[in-house]
Structure 1
Amino acid sequence: MPIRRDDLRTLLRMPPANGRPPSLAVRDETTREGICHQRIALERSGTAIAGTLLLPASTGQPAPAILYCHAHGNRYDIGAAELVEGRPALQDPPYGPLLAKRGYAVLCIDMPGFGSRQPEGTESALAKAALWRGQTLFGRMLGDLTAALDALAARPDVDPARIATLGISMGATHAYWLAALDGRIAACAHLCAFADIGPLIDSGDHDLHGIYMTVPGLLEKGDMGDVAALVAPRPQLVASGLKDPLTPLAALNPALSRLRQAYESQGASDALTELTSPGTGHEETPEMRAAVLGFLDESLGA
C-alpha cells in the first residue's frame, strides 16, 4: 500500500498550530535595484522566526511566489541569509534577487539551530530533545515551513495558486517533503539530496546526513521515493550529481524509478523533470540553474 500524507504526519509528529494564523511582521525594509528587501519575523504560536522576504516590482497583479528552503552544509551561521548571500554549493547570483527580478515573491526563514536561531541549541541537542519528547526535529522544521506557507499564501500581493518550493541539500529535502505534505504547493524543485535512505544505510552513507533528517519508522512505510511520489501529478524537478556522496546511483535509481511510476500512473510523465550530471558532486551546476529557472517559469507562469 502506498505511503499516505497522514502516514507522514504521524511519523513526523509535527507540532500542532496554536493561536492566531501565522503572519509576517516587517522589521526592516530597503529597496535595491527595484526589489523590495524585507527583514521579517514569522509570528506563529507566540514565537517569532526571522527570515527574509523579497518582493518584485509591482505589476498590479498578485505575484507567483517561491518558498525557498535553505541548506545545511555544516554552516549553521548562514540560514536564511543564503537567499541573498548565496553559499559555496550554489551558482551566482544568489537565488533571491534573481528570482525577484523575474517577478517572484521569495520567502526564506531560519530553521531551528540555523542563522538567528542558533541560540535555540545545536542540531544534535534539538534533535535529541525532540526524540525524547516523542517528536522529530524534521517535523518541527516542516511545521515552521508550513506556517511560512500559510503566511505567504495569505498575502494579497501573492497568488496562492502559484507557490513553489525550492532548495538544495537540506533545503531540497524540505522542498519535496513539504510539497508531499501540502497540496497548496503548485510545484517543487530540489537539488542534490534525492535518494532512498534504505540503500544509504546499507552502504553507511546515511551517516553523511545531519541528524535533523531522522524520521523514526519511515522505512516501515516506504522511503524517499515514495514521499516525493506524493507530489505527483504536480510539476517536480529533481537534479542530482552522480559524484555526490548523498545521491549514489544505488540509492538514487530506485527512488527515481518509483517517482517515475507515480507520474506515469497519473498520466503526468511530462510534469516530472529529471537532470543528472555525471561528473558533479554536491553542488549546483550552470545547467541545473538554467533548468530550475525554466522549470519555475513554465510551472508558475511567471
Structure 2
Amino acid sequence: MTGAALRDRLAGLLGAGFPGPNFRKVTVQGRRQFGDWVLDDLLFETAGGVPVPALFLRPPDGQTPVPALVYCHAHGNRYTMGREELIEGRPSLQGPYAADLEALGVAALCMDMPCFGTRQLPGESARAKAALWRGETLFGQMLAEQMAGLSFLADHPVVDRNRLGALGFSMGSTLAWWLAAMDERVRAASALCSFADLEKLVDLGEHDGHGTYMTVPGLLPVARSGQIAGLTAPRALQICVGLNDWSTPEGAFNRGRQDLEAAYGGRQGLEFHIEPDAAHEETPAMRAAVLRFLKRQLVDGRGRDS
C-alpha cells in the first residue's frame, strides 16, 4: 500500500469528515510579555462553532519569520491542565518548554484538547462514546484540531511555513507522531514517552493504561504503530523512550522500532533516544536530546523549498 493510500485508510478510520476544515475564526483575547517574545491568549472557533482556547508563544510582530511547532499537551488524568503545560510544565517533565523554545528561536502553539483545561466537560468517556456512535473518534477530533493549528501557524506572518514541527509528551507524543504521519507540512516531530506497537500492547495486557481517547476502531488490521509513524519518512522524527515506562514495554517498543526503521530504510531523519532505566518521565538527557534535535532540524535547517 502506498503512503497516500494508507493515509486515506487511516483518515477513514479516524472518523467521518476527518480532518475537516480549518478554524473559521481566531480572536486574540490577551497578550503579555514573555522574555523578549510575546504570549498570545487565543480563542479559535471550529467550523461547527466549538471554541478552542490556545496559547501562542512567538516573537513580536515585524521580526524575521521563525520556525514554529504545535506543542501537544499530555494527559496524565490531569484534566484541569491543557494549554498551560507549555508555560507551567507538569511533574513528569523537567520543566516548562516555553523558555527553552524561546531561547531556541522556535514559536509554539498549544491548544486545549477536548476534555482538558477549559474543555473538561463533557468528560473523556462521554466524548469518546458519543463520537463513536456518530461514526467519529475523539482521537480524530484531536488530530483534526492539531492540523488546523498547523494551518494557523503556516499562515502567520512571524512563522516560516517551511519549518513547522510537532512536540509532545505521553498523549502529546502519540498526537505528535500521528500528526507528522498524517500531515506532510510537519518537517520535524519529537515524541516523548509513548511509542509502542498497539497489537503487542494488547498481547501483553498493557494497553488499558491508555485513555479511551486513543480508541480508533478497526486500526490494528490496517497498520501497526511503526507503519503509521513511518509515513513521516523521509522527514525528521525523534522517538524518546524509557524502557521502564508502562506505555513503552520493551517488546512493544521493539516491534514499533523495527517497523519504523524499515519505513526509513536507513535514510537520515530518524532518531531514537532510549534510556533503559527511565520510567514515564522526561529525563535531563531526554530534554537535552529534544532541544538538539529541534535546533538541528528546525532552526539550522533552511526549509524544504530552499
TM-score (norm 1): 0.94
Distance, in Å, in 2 between the alignment partners of 1:151 and 1:22 is 10
Q: Does 1:271 align with 2:269?
A: yes
Q: 1:32 to 1:207 in 2, by over 3 A?
A: same
**C-alpha contact 1:165 1:188 (8 A) present in aligned 2:** yes
**C-alpha contact 1:62 1:156 (8 A) present in aligned 2:** yes
Q: Give deviations 1:82-140, integer Å, cap 9, x for gaps.
A: 00000011002x11222023211110000001001013x11001001111111110001
- Structure 2 match to 1:75: 78
**C-alpha contact 1:22 1:150 (8 A) present in aligned 2:** no
Aligned match for 1:90, one of 93, 100, 111: 93
Where 1:227 maps in the other structure, the secondary structure is helix
Where 2:297 maps in the other structure, the secondary structure is helix
- Structure 2 match to 1:39: 41
Distance, in Å, in 2 between the alignment partners of 1:125 and 1:169 is 21
- Structure 2 match to 1:130: 131
- Structure 1 match to 2:289: 291
- Structure 2 match to 1:235: 236
**C-alpha contact 1:163 1:187 (8 A) present in aligned 2:** yes
**Which amino acid counterpart does residue 7 of structure 1 have in structure 2?**
R
Where 1:41 maps in the other structure, the secondary structure is strand
Q: Does 1:258 align with 2:259?
A: yes
Distance, in Å, in 2 between the alignment partners of 1:50 and 1:9 is 25
Distance, in Å, in 2 between the alignment partners of 1:18 and 1:175 is 18
Q: Give deviations 1:151-188, integer Å, cap 9, x for gaps.
A: 11111110111010000000000001011000000110
Distance, in Å, in 2 between the alignment partners of 1:218 and 1:150 is 26
What RMSD over aligned residues (CA atoms) do the two structures have, in Å?
1.7
Where 1:135 maps in the other structure, the secondary structure is coil
Distance, in Å, in 1 between the alignment partners of 2:209 and 2:90 is 19
Q: 1:18 to 1:181 in 2, by over 3 A?
A: closer
Q: 1:152 to 1:113 in 2, by over 3 A?
A: same
Q: 1:196 to 1:17 in 2, by over 3 A?
A: closer
Q: 1:19 to 1:293 in 2, by over 3 A?
A: closer
Aligned match for 1:105, one of 104, 107, 132: 107
Distance, in Å, in 2 between the alignment partners of 1:200 and 1:30 is 44
- Structure 2 unaligned runs (5+)? 301-306
- Structure 1 unaligned runs (5+)? none
- Structure 2 match to 1:163: 164
Q: 1:192 to 1:16 in 2, by over 3 A?
A: closer
**C-alpha contact 1:57 1:103 (8 A) present in aligned 2:** no
TM-score (norm 2): 0.93
Aligned match for 2:11, one of 9, 14, 21: 9
Where 1:198 maps in the other structure, the secondary structure is helix
- Structure 1 match to 2:187: 186
Q: 1:20 to 1:183 in 2, by over 3 A?
A: closer
